[in-house]
Amino acid sequence: MIPASFDYIAAKSLDEAISLLAKHKDDAKVLAGGHSLLPAMKLRLMQPKVLIDLGRIRDLSYIKEDGGLIRIGAMTTHFQVEISDLLRRSCPLLPETASHLGDMQVRNKGTIGGSLAHSDPAADWPASILALDAELVATSAKGDRVIKATDFFVEMLTTSLQPGEILREIRIPSGKSKPAQAYVKVRHPASGFAVVGVAVNLSIDGGKCQSAAIGITGVSPKAYRASKVESALKGNALDAKTLSAACAHAAAAVDVNSDLYASAEYRKQLATVYTRRAIEIAAGRAK
């Protein structure tokens, strides 16, 4: 398992990385934590001629809150998200998602930006990013471009990032005082990826669900918002009848994945059950 030969360049700044990417174009891949890219290179499923490493750029790793936004640098590791006090307080969905992700090695080295840009159909982050109505900031020689989470995931392993663009920051609207959020997951026993992963972000007032945002990963070739479930919850008390009617739509209007581990039918059932579980957990946390 030895990769094809390649050149390695450690960029010292984001500007340098952008100009290197503009120079090498399709021959180059941007290296973040390397926990998807390097295994693929070792199997020679990817053979970039040049790797542009973002690992030495210090100002791409941060978690801060200002102007009503939480900003997370793309090179922030999963572990840094998991242990962030700021996020545990104001957006617990992200640390919870991180805690389910991969194994310790992956969480220590892998980054939120790298994972999002790779866009694995069973990665955990996309579900949460969708449920939080996040914005993703891509940067290139032309400057910054802000992409809504719902526009970011195009298909398996493909995002709306354009050639020459590097994902720089993830922005999340600052949460309320008691966020009703939860991420639950059926974990593939070998890979740790999500067979089904459901992220829920609710707003509950006066016993009724004021708004619901639900992101689901692993079920379909790309993560999606379960909008039919959301609209069935909105304005209603989250009782058993509402929940079972709403969650039946968890995999509505998507192509459901099928593989050796889980058939499409089984995945669909898991999506229904785990969506309900995630909503119940999130609602319980609002109390």
Residue ranges that bind other proteins, judged by CB under 8 A: 29, 40, 43-46, 119, 121-122, 155-158, 188, 191, 193, 220-221, 255, 257-261
Considering the complex, state which of residue 86 and residue 254 has its C-beta at the smaller distance from other proteins.
Answer: 254
Considering the complex, state which of residue 61 and residue 257 has its C-beta at the smaller distance from other proteins.
Answer: 257
Residues 6+ apart with CB under 8 A from 185: 100, 124, 194, 195, 196, 197, 198, 218, 274
b/e burial code for range 107-139 (CB count within 10 A of at least 16 → b): bebbbbbbbbbbbbbbbbbbbbbbbbbbbbbbb
Query: To the nearest whole angstrom, how small is the minimum distance from the Cβ of residue 220 to other proteins?
Result: 8
Measured between alpha carbons, how far is 195 from 217 in angstroms, rounded to an integer?
8
Comparing C-alpha atoms, which of 146, 143, 138 is closest to residue 173?
Answer: 146
Query: To the nearest whole angstrom, how small is the minimum distance from the Cβ of residue 46 to other proteins?
Result: 6
Pairing of strands 69-73, 166-173: antiparallel
Considering the complex, state which of residue 158 and residue 210 has its C-beta at the smaller distance from other proteins.
Answer: 158
Considering the complex, state which of residue 156 and residue 253 has its C-beta at the smaller distance from other proteins.
Answer: 156
Considering the complex, state which of residue 244 and residue 258 has its C-beta at the smaller distance from other proteins.
Answer: 258
Sign of torsion over alpha carbons 242, 246, 247, 248: positive
Query: To the nearest whole angstrom, how small is the minimum distance from the Cβ of residue 78 to other proteins?
Result: 20
Which two three-digit tokens encode residue 118?
A: 């790779």
Pairing of strands 224-225, 208-217: antiparallel
Query: To the nearest whole angstrom, how small is the minimum distance from the Cβ of residue 163 to other proteins?
Result: 11
Query: To the nearest whole angstrom, how small is the minimum distance from the Cβ of residue 18 to other proteins?
Result: 19
